[in-house]
């Protein structure tokens, strides 16, 4: 008989939904989304919501279904889950993406998350107080992350990185209900509270030199030119953002869903986590950073700040604004704690697929698996931190957090809808359902979602893949470091390929002969 | 912000909030994860 994998499951449905929503809600909701939307104005919302409805929500339902289905067979990660859907040798290797991508994203995401904690501390202690220009705050940021020609090292950044890293490993190593669920149940409501308070604060800001909050909201909501919809750029930006914000195509939703028992609803729970994410992203995310920046700096300067990159508005511009508003120190701390919580609720899921892969497929105990991950991830994080100024983080981000998740999302849509079969998938999805999904989504998931996702892959290839592959815009002195980043990805991928090969070879009965494990909670 | 922009923004917000509240309302009607039920003859039924 196969050896059963016994894990405790979710304790409450609220905890499950908060964890799933927290997985989706991240730094991108507050920093990336406004930056993507503002250049196109209100027209951006058309491709954005088209992608949410035709791509994001269907993929979310697919991932919950794949996860719960795989969990019945004792698989907590996508290699085993894909194997259960498609009995071909290649399927389990495709599933490796669902372990590789979140782990590699986690390697840099935790470092970025730690900046929020560091800035919350700096704001609380007033460390940068008095630096009231963006240029000065830019220098504070450069000093914090240790930007320069040599090794990028800053003792303070490293200290907060260690705290954030330890916290993530601690949460991950506990059982799902005592770790991730416990944190999500408190962190998500706290995040929502902080987000609403900050949004109300910005919406009630008095005009500065004639600039009102309406001018700020107009950057995201005013349609100045519908013809931008004819450009593929806005569609790539919007659909990429949908993938990123819902954390689909990463493998984390699958792992969380594998803890569900077979008759637990997934349609309503999946939709609830999606709508919660949209509330945070579209309502709160569009109301805080950009309107505040427009009121204090004006629309032209805000566009220039956005052009400087994802972090400029959050770490350069807003600290300047906090120094100029009443009780700004308090709101500043709230902003960075908000970002930290958004980051934490996402990052704590990122190593879960790897942890479950080591547990379920390679037979390691949770303690050993968690310790192994902690040691390996810690060492892999060092180049990301020390050579941040050389583009190591950006290189991993492109291949894993940008192109990789779109590719894996397309692959899983094809496997689910066309290979596993939509009829079977639809039936599986509705087992125990509390919400009957309208029949039109059957056809959306069967035809539109896979085609849409594949089109996005083709767009991404045309748009940026070749340039990235050949490093055509890279500075010559950074090229060795970019190769190092690729070597890191390949090393982890190589380990996972070996792991799958070894597991399937050494545990044939467990994988080939086991029927669905009972309804035992995982 | 033009009048159309305000209507556009508030309409989108209203749709998101309504859906979110509806979902949570349905969730809180059955908040606990149900105890495991036995399958009969390997069959599962649609709700």
* pLDDT (0 to 100) of residue A236: 87
pLDDT at res. A511: 55
- Per-residue burial over A379-392, b if 16 or more Cβ lie within 10 Å, else e, is ebbebbbbbbbbbb
Which of A16, A217, A430 lies at the smallest CB-CB distance from B46? A430
What distances in angstroms separate CA A32 from CA A55, A147, A281, A342, A480, one per listed residue? 19, 22, 10, 13, 28
pLDDT along chain A (522 residues), means of 10: 55 92 93 92 96 97 96 93 93 96 95 95 94 88 80 86 96 92 95 95 93 95 93 88 92 95 92 96 95 93 87 89 92 96 94 95 93 96 92 92 92 97 96 94 97 92 88 92 97 97 77 50 46
Residue A159: Cβ within 10 Å count: 14
Q: Report yes or no: A450 and A421 within 8 Å, Cβ to Cβ.
A: no
* pTM, rounded to two decimals: 0.91
Whether residues B32 and A10 touch (CB distance < 8 A) is answered with no
The two structure tokens encoding residue A492:
């982890």
CA distance A302 to A289: 10
Chain B positions in Cβ-Cβ contact with residue A263 (cut-off 8 Å): 34, 36-37, 44
Chain B residues with CB-CB distance to A under 8 A?
1-2, 4-6, 8-9, 12-13, 16-17, 19-20, 23-24, 26-28, 30-34, 36-39, 44, 46-47
**What ranges make up the beta strands (E) of A189-321?**
none
Enter the tokens of residue A430: 């509705």
CB contacts, 8 Å: B46 with chain A: 427, 430-431, 433
With CB atoms and an 8 Å threshold, state whether A519 touches B37.
yes
SS3 A147: coil
Total number of domains in chain B: 1
Q: Do the beta carbons of residue A105 and residue A119 sit within 8 Å?
A: no
Local structure of residue A12 (DSSP, 8 states): B
The closest of A46, A33, A122 to A342, measured between CA atoms, is: A33
Residue A505: its pLDDT value, please? 86
Write out the two tokens for A455: 């089109």
Residue A5: per-residue pLDDT: 45
Q: Among all residues of chain A, which has the CA nearest to that of B1? A: A218
- Residue whose C-alpha is closest to residue A47's, from A468, A461, A455, A414: A455
Give the distance, in angstroms, between the CA of residue A259 and the centroid of all CA atoms in the same chain: 20
pLDDT for A302: 92
Hey, CA dihedral for B4, B5, B6, B8, is it positive or negative?
positive
- Flag whether B35 is in a domain: no
Residue B6 lies in a domain: yes
Q: What does the alpha-carbon distance between residue A412 and residue A419 come to, in Å, rounded to a whole number?
A: 10
Residues A357/A504, Cβ–Cβ less than 8 Å: no
Produce one character per residue of A179-203: b if its CB has 16 or more CB atoms within 10 Å, e if not: bbbbbbbebbeebbebbeebbebbe
Closest residue, chain B, to A279 (C-alpha): B16
Domain limits, chain A: 14-513
pLDDT for res A150: 67
CB A376: neighbour CB atoms within 10 A? 17
**Please, what is the end-to-end C-alpha distance for chain A in angstroms?**
18
Q: Which long-range contacts (CB under 8 A, 24 or more apart) does A465-473 make?
A: A465/A403, A468/A398, A468/A399, A468/A403
What are the backbone dihedrals phi and psi of residue B45, each rounded to the nearest 5 degrees, phi first?
-110, 155
Question: Which tokens is B6 given?
Answer: 């305000």
Instruction: Confirm whether B44 is domain-assigned.
Output: no
Interacting residues of A343 by C-beta distance below 8 A, sequence separation 6+: A26, A27, A109, A110, A112, A113, A116
The full DSSP string for A217-264 is HHHHH--S-GGGGGSHHHHHHHHHHHHHHHTTTSSHHHHHHTTS-TTS
Q: Give B-chain residues touching A195 at CB under 8 angstroms.
A: none
Q: Are residues A199 and A281 in contact, defined by beta-carbon separation less than 8 angstroms?
A: no
Task: Break chain B down into helix, strand, coil percent, rounded to 5.
Answer: 55, 10, 35
Q: Which of B1, B30, B39 sits opposite A214 (nearest CB)?
A: B1
Tell the CATH topology of A14-513.
Answer: Amino acid/polyamine transporter I (1.20.1740)
DSSP state of A2: P
**Residue A108 in contact with residue A391, Cβ under 8 Å?**
no
3-state secondary structure of A278: helix
**SS3 assignment, position A211:** strand
How far apart CA B28 and CA B21 sit, in angstroms, is: 10
CB atoms B37 and A17 under 8 Å: no
Domain presence at residue B24: yes
The partner residue sitting opposite B33, judged by closest CB among A13, A222, A433, is A13
Cα separations in angstroms, A381 against A133, A144, A185, A218, A402: 32, 17, 28, 40, 19
Q: Which structure tokens are listed for A308?
A: 């400087």
Of A222, A427, A519, the CB nearest to B36: A519
Domain that holds residue B20: 1-28
């Amino acid at each position: 008989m196969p050896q059963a994998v016994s894990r405790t499951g979710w304790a409450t449905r609220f905890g499950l939904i908060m964890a799933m929503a927290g997985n989706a809600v991240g730094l991108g909701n507050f920093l990336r989304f406004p930056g993507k939307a503002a250049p196109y104005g209100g027209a951006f919302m058309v491709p954005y919501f088209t992608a949410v409805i035709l791509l994001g929500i269907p993929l979310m339902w697919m991932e919950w279904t794949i996860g719960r289905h795989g969990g019945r067979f004792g698989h907590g990660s996508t290699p085993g889950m894909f194997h259960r859907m498609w009995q071909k040798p290649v399927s389990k290797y495709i599933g490796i993406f669902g372990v590789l991508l979140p782990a590699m994203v986690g390697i840099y995401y935790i470092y970025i998350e730690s900046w929020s904690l560091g800035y919350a501390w700096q704001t609380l202690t007033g460390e940068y107080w008095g630096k009231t220009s963006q240029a000065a705050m830019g220098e504070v940021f450069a000093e914090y992350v240790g930007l320069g020609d040599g090794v990028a090292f800053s003792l303070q950044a490293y200290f907060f990185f260690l705290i954030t890293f330890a916290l993530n490993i601690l949460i991950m190593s506990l059982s799902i209900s005592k770790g991730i669920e416990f944190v999500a149940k408190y962190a998500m409501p706290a995040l929502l509270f902080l987000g609403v308070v900050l949004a109300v604060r910005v919406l009630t800001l008095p005009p500065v030199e004639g600039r009102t909050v309406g001018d700020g909201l107009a950057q995201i909501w005013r349609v100045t030119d519908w013809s931008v919809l004819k450009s593929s750029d806005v569609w790539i930006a919007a659909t990429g953002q949908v993938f990123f914000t819902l954390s689909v195509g990463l493998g984390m939703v699958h792992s969380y869903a594998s803890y569900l028992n077979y008759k637990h609803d997934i349609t309503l729970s999946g939709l609830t986590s999606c709508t919660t994410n949209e509330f945070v992203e579209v309502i709160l995310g569009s109301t805080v950073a950009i309107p505040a920046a427009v009121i204090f700096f004006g629309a032209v300067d805000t566009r220039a700040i956005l052009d400087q990159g994802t972090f400029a508005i959050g770490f350069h511009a807003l600290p300047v604004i906090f120094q100029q508003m009443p009780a700004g120190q308090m709101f500043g701390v709230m902003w960075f704690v908000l970002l930290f919580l958004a980051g934490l609720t996402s990052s704590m899921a990122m190593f879960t697929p790897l942890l479950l892969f080591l547990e379920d497929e390679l037979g390691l105990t949770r303690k050993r698996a968690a310790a192994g991950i902690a040691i390996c991830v810690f060492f892999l994080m060092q180049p990301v931190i020390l050579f941040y100024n050389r583009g190591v983080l950006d290189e991993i981000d492109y291949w894993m957090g940008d192109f990789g998740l779109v590719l894996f999302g397309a692959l899983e849509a094809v496997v689910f809808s066309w290979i596993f079969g939509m009829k079977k998938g639809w039936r599986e999805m509705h087992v125990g359902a509390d919400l009957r999904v309208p029949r039109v989504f059957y056809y959306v998931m069967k035809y539109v979602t896979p085609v849409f996702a594949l089109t996005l892959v083709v767009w991404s290839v045309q748009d940026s893949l070749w340039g990235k592959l050949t490093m055509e815009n890279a500075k010559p002195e950074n090229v060795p470091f970019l190769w190092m980043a690729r070597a890191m990805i390949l090393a982890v991928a190589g380990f996972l390929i070996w792991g799958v090969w070894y597991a399937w070879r050494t545990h044939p009965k467990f994988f080939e002969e086991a029927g669905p494990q009972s309804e035992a909670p995982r | 912000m033009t009048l159309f922009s305000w209507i556009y923004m508030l309409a989108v917000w209203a749709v998101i909030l309504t859906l979110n509240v509806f979902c949570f309302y349905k969730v809180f009607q059955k908040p606990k994860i149900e105890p495991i039920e036995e399958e009969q003859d390997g069959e599962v039924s649609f709700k």
